[in-house]
Amino acid sequence: MTTTSPTHPPLPTRVLAEARRSPVLAVTIVLLILVALVGVFAPWIAPYPEDALGNTAPDRSYIPPSSDHWFGTDHLGRDVFSRVVYGTRFGLVVSVAVVCISLVIGIVIGLLAGYIGGWWDEGLMRVTDVFLAVPGLLLALALASALNPGLIGATIALSVTWWPWYTRIIRGEVLSVMGRKHIEACRALGLSHTRVLLRHVLPNARTSLMVQASTDFGSVLLAVAALSFLGLGAQSPTPDWGLMVEQARTHFSTHWWMGTFPGLAILFVAALFYLLGDGLRDRLDPKHTTSTGSGGTT
């Protein structure tokens, strides 16, 4: 499947050709890589790294944006720019963790439901119905408030909330390929169930999963920020974007910079993930070959 034919152009040429074909997608991916690099190299980028780790400096509190403090300082004198830079780590790590955990749960249950069928399918699908019957953020909010508040609790709560979407996708894809000849041939050749599922059924769902997961990185990022804003996610002094906006609330009318920049960071990264999802859908899904940017609902 991954064999490269000798006539294939070298990798840089192919990357350039892809970039020319979907420029928005290329720019989005480059920007997302930059965002990830900001997270990785936060200690070197942040001018006041200690401010992100619990240090306070009351003598320089409430300084408006200036050349020393690009995004100003907050009520405890912490450099907002440094904290926003560090916040990249928490936002990205939690989003990736939630999507990965949900993908694993969703894939396992979806494959089982679609492949075994019958009562298993019926039972598992009714369970996903129940989970999907509660609006996502609300279920996460209820779970997070029952668990110990913190980023771990928020990650668990959001993962429990998110998996049914993947289960639905996987099951649909499984059902659509089950009757096809190549799957029957695999079984006739005596391949094990696990092998058929993982090597021949699952790859069919790759495109749908990639599109859904990239959009979900954005949705989860927003949900984590919302939970932190409500006091159920990250706890002080974690430089989490949602929590930073929450802490800025009481000072907002007089010190606008404290909450404005963390909020812009959430908006920027979430928008990038949504663009990534749209771009991938246009690029990979043969049904959406037009560059109209049309397609799904979210």
- Distance separating alpha carbons of residues 277 and 283, to the nearest angstrom: 10
Task: Indicate whether 220 belongs to the interface with another protein (CB under 8 A).
Answer: no
Contact pattern for another protein over residues 24 through 63, marking x by CB under 8 A: ----------------------------------------
Locate 78 and state its tokens: 């912490």
For residue 16, which amino acid is it? L
| Residues facing 73 on adjacent strands | 79
Task: Indicate whether 256 belongs to the interface with another protein (CB under 8 A).
Answer: yes
Task: Indicate whether 222 belongs to the interface with another protein (CB under 8 A).
Answer: yes
Least Cβ distance, residue 99 to another protein (angstroms) = 16
Assess contact for 107 and 206: CB atoms under 8 A. no
Q: Which is nearer to another protein, 145 or 207 (CB)?
A: 145
Contact pattern for another protein over residues 126 through 145, marking x by CB under 8 A: xx-xxx-xxxxxxx-xxxxx
Q: Which is nearer to another protein, 73 or 128 (CB)?
A: 128
Locate 39 and state its tokens: 């997270």
A 10 A CB-CB count for 53 gives 16
Helix, strand, coil shares of the chain, percent, nearest 5, are 75, 0, 25
Judged by CB under 8 A, how many residues of this single chain contact another protein?
A: 53
Q: Which is nearer to another protein, 84 or 143 (CB)?
A: 143
CA atoms within 13 A on the CB side of 207: 13
Task: Indicate whether 164 belongs to the interface with another protein (CB under 8 A).
Answer: no
Assess contact for 228 and 241: CB atoms under 8 A. yes
Locate 281 and state its tokens: 């859908």
Least Cβ distance, residue 7 to another protein (angstroms) = 34
Task: Indicate whether 250 belongs to the interface with another protein (CB under 8 A).
Answer: no
Task: Indicate whether 14 belongs to the interface with another protein (CB under 8 A).
Answer: no
Least Cβ distance, residue 134 to another protein (angstroms) = 4
φ, ψ dihedrals at 73, nearest 5°: -125, 160
Residues 56 to 95: which contact another protein by CB under 8 A?
Answer: none
Task: Indicate whether 249 belongs to the interface with another protein (CB under 8 A).
Answer: yes
Q: Which is nearer to another protein, 138 or 198 (CB)?
A: 138
- Distance separating alpha carbons of residues 248 and 256, to the nearest angstrom: 8
Question: Which of 101, 231, 237, 283 is the binder for another protein (CB under 8 A)?
Answer: 231
Least Cβ distance, residue 44 to another protein (angstroms) = 27
Task: Indicate whether 274 belongs to the interface with another protein (CB under 8 A).
Answer: yes
Residues contributing to the site for another protein (CB under 8 A): 126-127, 129-131, 133-139, 141-148, 218, 222, 225-226, 229-232, 242, 245-246, 248-249, 252-253, 256, 259-260, 263, 266-267, 270-271, 273-275, 290, 292-295, 297-298
